[in-house]
């Protein structure tokens, strides 16, 4: 029951019920109108029959009253004409009566169909009859509205003529509206095309927005990482700053000691240079008598320290050929190359090179000639000393390397 009550409260069900009642009321009105027309036609038929009887009586009276056959015939002819007219009117009325009867039959058939539909609706409404009683008031209101609508229908009949007069104007307006509709259709097509383009642009913008959102999230993550790194670097910078300040304090404390050590080192270097000079002078004085005694019988082994000069491409290059057959090559910038060597009368072979060798490869064979303490390196593609001239130096000639 609750479900049925809920369905009756549904506006759609109420509208259907109201429409059904309105349809039945309209049908009853049509049927009553048809019955009224049928009664009018019956009355017209009775009236015509009465007129015919009256005319016949009048003809009889005239036949009895008048003795002139011609006049009676004329009157009969006139009466017959009137009778023919009455018969024609009667036939017309009978035809209209038949038409009305046919309409009444059709109306009765429709009424029967409506009754069957009403019976079906009654069968459907029967389970809801108890709740339908609650709608009686609404139906009465609907009947009142129906009466009002009938009155409005009457008013509409009066307005119909006026509407017909306006029909011509409306037809012209319809033509104009049709033209405007065609123009509007074209504009609508253009608008739809623009709308489709706008939708595509919106879709592209949404894709770009999604990409930007993704990039924003990635940038946010990177920003978080960078901020974390910045915090770590700030901590490291603070720690380094503290260490630098500590080192600066230690430097200020150690600076006097470094100054004293530098002065001591300079003094010792001067003393060492003086000792080396004295040793060189003593060695030269000791070797001079031996050299004079042996003369040319002594063979030069080539050992010693050589310094590049003359037309050499690099000046101040020191080549040390030691008695243990090892060499040490030092350039003016302090870079060194060391290894083993073999020196003969016509070539110098450097082997097992290590240190700042650069692109040089070992063993390296260099053409060489010796004469009076001079070592001249001949041209060779793979020799880094190619074209250089070395002069053997005495201990006093060696430059004093800076002490570290």
pLDDT of residue 6: 61
Note the helical H segments in 126-135: 129-132
Q: What is the DSSP letter of 298?
A: S
Least confident of 139-153, 202-216, 230-244: 139-153
Q: How far apart are CA 134 and CA 6, in angstroms?
A: 12
Q: Is there a contact between 398 and 319 (Cβ–Cβ < 8 Å)?
A: no
356 confidence band (pLDDT: 50, 70, 90)? confident
3-class secondary structure, 331: coil
pLDDT above 50: residue 296? no
Q: Report, in angstroms and rounded to the nearest whole number, the Rg of the chain calculated over CA atoms.
A: 71
Least confident of 173-187, 199-213, 223-237: 173-187
- Give 22-66 pLDDT, tens digit per residue: 888 888 888 887 777 777 778 878 888 887 888 778 767 766 666
Task: List, in order, residues 6 or more apart from 62 with CB less than 8 Å away.
Answer: 72, 75
**322: which 2 tokens?**
């030691």
Q: How far apart are CA 388 and CA 316, in angstroms?
A: 11
pLDDT above 60: residue 397? no
Task: Choose between 176 and 1: higher pLDDT.
Answer: 176
**200: which 2 tokens?**
């595509």
224 confidence band (pLDDT: 50, 70, 90)? confident
**Mean pLDDT, all residues of the chain:** 78
For the stretch 226-231, contacts whose Cβ atoms lie closer than 8 Å and that sit 24 or more positions apart, written own/partner, are none
Least confident of 94-103, 225-234, 284-293, 305-314: 284-293
3-class secondary structure, 395: coil
pLDDT above 70: residue 92? yes
Distance of CA 53 to the CA centre of its chain: 99
pLDDT of residue 400: 42
**Stretch (H or E) spanning 43:** helix 11-65
Mean pLDDT in residue range 111-117: 78
Q: Is there a contact between 376 and 395 (Cβ–Cβ < 8 Å)?
A: no
Mean pLDDT in residue range 322-335: 91
401 confidence band (pLDDT: 50, 70, 90)? very low
- Give 120-163 pLDDT, tens digit per residue: 766 665 666 676 677 777 767 767 877 877 787 788 677 777 76
Task: Choose between 349 and 122: higher pLDDT.
Answer: 349
Q: Which class does domain 303-392 fall in? A: mainly beta
Partner residues linked to 392 by β-bridges: 306
What's the whole-model pTM score? 0.28
Q: How far apart are CA 43 and CA 65, in angstroms?
A: 32
pLDDT of residue 7: 61
How many degrees, rounded to 5, is the angle at CA 104 between CA 100 and CA 105?
120
Q: How far apart are CA 30 and CA 104, in angstroms?
A: 10
Sketch the domain layout of the chain as residue ranges. Answer: 2-175, 303-392
For residue 110, the tally of other CB atoms under 10 A from its CB is: 13
- Give 65-87 pLDDT, tens digit per residue: 666 567 767 877 887 888 888 78
Q: Phi and psi for 40 in degrees, rounded to 5?
A: -60, -45
């Amino acid at each position: 029951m609750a479900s049925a009550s809920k369905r009756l409260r549904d506006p759609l069900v109420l509208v259907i019920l109201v429409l059904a009642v309105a349809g039945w009321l309209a049908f009853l009105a049509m049927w009553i109108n048809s019955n009224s027309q049928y009664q009018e036609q019956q009355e017209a038929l009775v009236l015509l029959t009465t007129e015919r009887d009256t005319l016949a009586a009048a003809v009889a009276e005239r036949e009895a009253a008048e003795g002139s056959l011609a006049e009676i015939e004329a009157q009969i002819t006139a009466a017959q004409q009137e009778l023919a007219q009455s018969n024609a009117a009667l036939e017309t009325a009978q035809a209209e009566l038949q038409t009305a009867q046919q309409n009444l039959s059709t109306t009765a058939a429709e009424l029967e169909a409506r009754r069957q539909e009403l019976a079906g609706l009654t069968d459907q409404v029967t389970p809801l009859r108890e709740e339908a009683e609650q709608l009686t008031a609404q139906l009465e209101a609907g009947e009142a509205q129906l009466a009002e609508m009938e009155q409005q229908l009457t008013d509409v009949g009066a307005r119909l003529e006026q509407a017909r007069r306006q029909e011509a104007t409306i037809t012209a307006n319809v033509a104009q509206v049709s033209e405007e509709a065609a123009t509007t259709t074209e504009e609508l097509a253009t608008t739809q095309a623009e709308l489709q383009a706008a939708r595509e642009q919106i879709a592209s913008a949404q894709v770009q927005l999604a990409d930007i959102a993704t990039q924003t999230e990635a940038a946010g993550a990177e920003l978080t990482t960078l901020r974390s790194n910045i915090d770590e670097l700030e901590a490291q910078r603070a720690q380094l700053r503290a260490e630098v300040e500590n080192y600066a304090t230690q430097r200020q404390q150690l600076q006097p000691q470094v100054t004293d050590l530098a002065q001591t080192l300079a003094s010792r270097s001067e003393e060492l240079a003086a000792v080396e000079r004295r040793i060189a002078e003593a060695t030269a004085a000791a070797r001079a008598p031996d050299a004079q005694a042996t003369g040319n019988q002594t063979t030069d082994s080539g050992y010693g320290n050589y310094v590049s000069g003359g037309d050499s491409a690099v000046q101040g290059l020191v080549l040390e050929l030691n008695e243990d057959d090892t060499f040490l090559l030092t350039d003016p910038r302090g870079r060194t190359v060391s290894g083993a060597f073999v020196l003969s009368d016509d070539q110098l072979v450097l082997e097992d090179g290590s240190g700042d060798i650069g692109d040089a490869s070992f063993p390296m064979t260099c053409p060489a000639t010796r004469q009076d303490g001079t070592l001249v390196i001949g041209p060779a593609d793979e020799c880094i000393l190619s074209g250089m001239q070395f002069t053997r130096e005495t201990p006093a000639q060696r430059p004093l390397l800076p002490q570290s």
